[in-house]
Amino acid sequence: SIAMEKFIRRRNLQLRSQQETWQESPEGLKMLEFRRSLPAYKEKDSLIEAISQNQVVVISGETGCGKTTQLPQYILESEIDAARGATCSIICTQPRRISAMAVSERVAAERGEKMGESVGYKVRLEGIRGRDTRLLFCTTGILLRRLLVDRNLKGVTHVIVDEIHERGMNEDFLLIVLKDLLPRRPELRLILMSATMNAELFSSYFGGAPMMHIPGFTYPVRNHFLENVLESTGHRLTPYNQIDDYGQEKSWKMQKQFLRKRKSQIASSVEDALEAADFRDYSLRTRESLACWNPDSIGFNLIESVLLHICRKERPGAVLVFMTGWDDINSLKEKLQSHPFLGDPTQVLILPCHGSMASSEQRLIFDKPENGVRKIVLATNMAETSITINDVVFVVDCGKAKETSYDALNNTPCLLPTWISKASARQRRGRAGRVQPGECYHLYPRCVYEAFADYQLPELLRTPLQSLCLQIKSIRLGDISEFLSRALQSPEALSVQNAIDYLKVIGALDEKEDLTILGRHLAMLPVEPKLGKMLIFGAIFSCLDAILTVVAGLSVRDPFLTPFDKKDLADSAKSQFSCRDYSDHLTLIRAYEGWKDAERNHSGYEYCWKNFLSAQTLKAIDSLRKQFFFLLKDTGLVNESLTACNKWNCDENLVRAVICAGLFPGICSVVNKERSIALKTMEDGQVMLYSSSVNGREAKIPYPWLVFNEKVKVNSVFLRDSTAVSDSILLLFGGNICQGGLDGHLKMLGGYLEFFMKPDLACTYITLKKELEEIILN
């Protein structure tokens, strides 16, 4: 132990001299100067003092003031100065992978180090850290997973939870756990960081923890609402009566309904606000902005003309466009790139920015473009707070974000673009004033802005809670409902009950709400329970190669592209892969396998082009497949190599069965009628298929059931993807066969069969069950 102490002392000295050498080198000095110019620097001493005096501190400050990159470094530096550099362990959580990676890279660069020395990162399925890593940036999910095996966070000295104002589900969850942990670890320091000013909420949650504010500088940003935008871009308005596109009409109606719903949440009634603003006059303008969300619409034209206006008439400076999601970003990018001016790479550099991008692509976003080239970044609301692009002068805000909302009553998650909150709109606007006065183009009228909610609803209150409940159980946090009642804002009892019921149905929890063996395995896999179950069953039933593709596809996104002007061509290209086997998931496997073959012949891109597939998505699927495989290997569920792992030539019905095991209870009964197919689920009654699904274009489906991964509630309920399965597959694989015994399985399935009025199937099942029992007993 004396040797150990000696070693630590030497290491501490080493760390300090390393830091000094860097800060005295020319590049180090330059970096230090930059760091000292950030608003956080002035507060450095008082922040460090507050942290040493209090177990919990809440820090807020304008985005870009240096919270994320500086504060963890201040702590590290002060620990090094206090000769604790070799023993401290600082964890800083980020809500998103991309920010954990980008920030850690930046901090390592600021310290003149390579990644994995004193600074490292860890996100789902990847990370770089070394033996000497003292400051670790990770996603909130990673820290939660660590708590699974290490309840007291042994050895950790500081936990920094960043971006808490976003109120992500994981962050809210983590706060409950940490609140419990603090009395057990009195020397542990907890620092909460938030961009906007709702610090009081967090402070009072932690018994009045001190709040520190970093005063920031931002340049003024001029606001342009739709009415001004249209003027300045010379956009011609379509007279009201000339717009009779049904789709737009419909979405407009929905928007109006939505605004009505929000009415109760806002102080002055929307109707009044709209009327005061002479809404009838605006309605035709608002249509333009609402139409942003139909790729085929004038909305994209509007964005295009705003961008043209900026490029041609405005001063230099990067443009940041806020879109709703990856699909929109891609379609817009395609559209812009086909424009003679905007698509000219010597004039304009168009960069997408999205959470699932590769890190090499990310870096381009931060780089300055060549002289005379205008940088246009197309981003999701991720660029609101967690990523700062310094040279942005113009912001184009479409006013929406895709948020998952969760309707507990019919247990359906919906992912719809919804209006953002006032706080988000302000935040987006602020991104334009980083380096000089900026301009923000809101593509909606001022009266719509006035109708926005003040803040967004916390995620915990608007998403399904299955994974969360599983984690609560596996960290042994006690009763699920009781635990969740201690959150900053607790979810509805009904949502909690739905999640518990779901976990029972799939066999992850038993009757007493204890984890089953399956549940324990599922909790170890950082994927949704249904995908985890599919992987586990794929491994057990030796069809893992196929299942890996399905699971990777479901976690990335659909690689099939449907450009709006070539929809029919794209659809028929897709149906080539379906081979009339009535499954989107098997179709995906074929497309993927075809692409792998083409890649081997160096014709991957041609193949994608010909078949309307996204090479980028297929690559993402390919890499995720590998990662999932190693995950399974880690947990000991497989032991072969990936190439040897039950090649995709196994029984197609077995693959169907495993898909069914994972997706159950996402089932829907099929009744073929004269001219149509009637589909019904237990929760929603009548449902429809998207035309992009291979089953959506069939006149008949010769199977009694479809299993599906995702349903979306628009005006009626739509199934996005589906696989047809037979009675026997459903009987054997639907639900909870491995736990609760066969009786439990029958009871649960019996309920379903009864609902779908298939009592004869229940009889078959009883016979089958007897036979099975005999086999098992003998």
Q: Which residues bind Mg ion (CB under 5 A)?
A: 67-68
Instruction: Write down the least CB distance from residue 193 to ligand ADP, Å.
Output: 7
- Cβ proximity to ligand ADP, 108 vs 460, nearer residue: 108
Residue 333 touches which member of Mg ion, ligand ADP, none, C-beta under 5-8 Å by kind? none
Contact 670, 706 (CB under 8 A): yes
Instruction: Write down the least CB distance from residue 110 to Mg ion, Å.
Output: 14
Instruction: Write down the least CB distance from residue 359 to ligand ADP, Å.
Output: 11
Angle at 156 (CA atoms; ends 126, 193), nearest 5 degrees: 80
Instruction: Write down the least CB distance from residue 367 to ligand ADP, Å.
Output: 9
- Cβ proximity to ligand ADP, 74 vs 419, nearer residue: 74
Instruction: Write down the least CB distance from residue 51 to ligand ADP, Å.
Output: 16
Residue 305 touches which member of ligand ADP, Mg ion, none, C-beta under 5-8 Å by kind? none
Residue 574 touches which member of Mg ion, ligand ADP, none, C-beta under 5-8 Å by kind? none
- Cβ proximity to ligand ADP, 110 vs 459, nearer residue: 110
Instruction: Write down the least CB distance from residue 159 to Mg ion, Å.
Output: 16
Q: From the centroid of its chain, how far is CA 337?
A: 27
Residue 252 touches which member of ligand ADP, Mg ion, none, C-beta under 5-8 Å by kind? none
Residue 466 touches which member of ligand ADP, Mg ion, none, C-beta under 5-8 Å by kind? none
Instruction: Write down the least CB distance from residue 39 to ligand ADP, Å.
Output: 8
Contact 570, 561 (CB under 8 A): yes
Residue 352 touches which member of Mg ion, ligand ADP, none, C-beta under 5-8 Å by kind? none
687: three-class secondary structure by DSSP: strand
Residue 94 touches which member of Mg ion, ligand ADP, none, C-beta under 5-8 Å by kind? none
Residue 617 touches which member of Mg ion, ligand ADP, none, C-beta under 5-8 Å by kind? none
Give the burial class of 149: count Cβ atoms within 10 A of its Cβ; 0-12 exposed, 13-18 middle, 19 or more buried: exposed
Helix (H) or strand (E) holding 253: helix 246-262
Instruction: Write down the least CB distance from residue 217 to ligand ADP, Å.
Output: 10
Distance between CA atoms of residues 602 and 96, nearest Å? 34
- Cβ proximity to Mg ion, 7 vs 34, nearer residue: 34
Interacting residues with ligand ADP (CB under 6 A): 38, 61, 63-70, 102, 106, 366, 388, 390
DSSP state string for 697-749: G-S---SSEEE-S-EEESSSEEE---EEE-HHHHHHHSS-SSSSHHHHHHHHH
Amino acid at 573: A
Distance between CA atoms of residues 153 and 147, nearest Å? 7
- Cβ proximity to ligand ADP, 64 vs 532, nearer residue: 64
- Cβ proximity to ligand ADP, 7 vs 34, nearer residue: 34
Contact 444, 399 (CB under 8 A): yes
Residue 390 touches which member of Mg ion, ligand ADP, none, C-beta under 5-8 Å by kind? ligand ADP
Q: Produce one character per residue of 376-390: b if its CB has 16 or more CB atoms within 10 Å, e if not.
A: bbbbbbbbbbbbbbe
* Beta-carbon contacts of residue 60 (< 8 Å; ≥ 6 apart): 165, 193, 194, 195, 196, 197, 199, 211, 212, 213, 214
Instruction: Write down the least CB distance from residue 349 to Mg ion, Å.
Output: 25
Contact 481, 493 (CB under 8 A): yes
Residue 66 touches which member of Mg ion, ligand ADP, none, C-beta under 5-8 Å by kind? ligand ADP
Residue 60 touches which member of ligand ADP, Mg ion, none, C-beta under 5-8 Å by kind? none
Contact 502, 492 (CB under 8 A): no
- Cβ proximity to ligand ADP, 70 vs 463, nearer residue: 70
Q: What are 162's two structure tokens? A: 């960043």
- Cβ proximity to ligand ADP, 102 vs 535, nearer residue: 102
- Cβ proximity to ligand ADP, 69 vs 170, nearer residue: 69
Beta bridge partners of 56: 190
Contact 115, 363 (CB under 8 A): no
Instruction: Write down the least CB distance from residue 330 to ligand ADP, Å.
Output: 24
Instruction: Write down the least CB distance from residue 34 to ligand ADP, Å.
Output: 8
- Cβ proximity to ligand ADP, 107 vs 509, nearer residue: 107
Instruction: Write down the least CB distance from residue 63 to ligand ADP, Å.
Output: 4
Contact 103, 362 (CB under 8 A): no
Number of helices (H), then strands (E), belonging to the chain: the values are: 32, 23
φ/ψ region of 351 (left if φ > 0, alpha if ψ in -120 to 50, else beta) reads beta
Residue 377 touches which member of Mg ion, ligand ADP, none, C-beta under 5-8 Å by kind? none
- Cβ proximity to ligand ADP, 190 vs 694, nearer residue: 190
Instruction: Write down the least CB distance from residue 105 to ligand ADP, Å.
Output: 7
Amino acid at 759: P
* Beta-carbon contacts of residue 234 (< 8 Å; ≥ 6 apart): 305
According to DSSP, residue 445 is labeled: -
Residue 388 touches which member of ligand ADP, Mg ion, none, C-beta under 5-8 Å by kind? ligand ADP
Look at residues 563, 654, 660 and name the one whose alpha carbon lies nearest to residue 612: 563
- Cβ proximity to Mg ion, 68 vs 617, nearer residue: 68
- Cβ proximity to Mg ion, 73 vs 739, nearer residue: 73
Instruction: Write down the least CB distance from residue 163 to ligand ADP, Å.
Output: 8
Beta bridge partners of 137: 92, 121
Instruction: Write down the least CB distance from residue 63 to Mg ion, Å.
Output: 6
- Cβ proximity to ligand ADP, 12 vs 69, nearer residue: 69
Residue 73 touches which member of Mg ion, ligand ADP, none, C-beta under 5-8 Å by kind? none
- Cβ proximity to ligand ADP, 12 vs 70, nearer residue: 70
Place of tokens 């000089």: 436
The long-range contacts involving 127-136, CB below 8 angstroms and separated by at least 24 positions, are: 132/11, 132/86, 134/76, 134/79, 134/85, 134/86, 134/88, 134/89, 134/90, 135/72, 135/73, 135/75, 135/76, 135/90, 135/92, 135/107, 136/89, 136/90, 136/91, 136/92, 136/104
Place of tokens 């998931």: 585
φ/ψ region of 524 (left if φ > 0, alpha if ψ in -120 to 50, else beta) reads alpha
Instruction: Write down the least CB distance from residue 157 to ligand ADP, Å.
Output: 21
Alpha-carbon distance values, 444 to 299, 399, 452, 596, 694 (Å): 11, 7, 11, 45, 37
Distance between CA atoms of residues 660 and 538, nearest Å? 11
Instruction: Write down the least CB distance from residue 595 to ligand ADP, Å.
Output: 33
Strands (E), 248-340: 318-322
Residue 61 touches which member of ligand ADP, Mg ion, none, C-beta under 5-8 Å by kind? ligand ADP
- Cβ proximity to ligand ADP, 66 vs 519, nearer residue: 66
Residue 64 touches which member of Mg ion, ligand ADP, none, C-beta under 5-8 Å by kind? ligand ADP
Distance between CA atoms of residues 94 and 171, nearest Å? 9
Residue 102 touches which member of Mg ion, ligand ADP, none, C-beta under 5-8 Å by kind? ligand ADP
Helix (H) or strand (E) holding 194: strand 189-194
- Cβ proximity to Mg ion, 79 vs 166, nearer residue: 166
Which residue in the shown chain puts its C-beta closest to Mg ion? 68
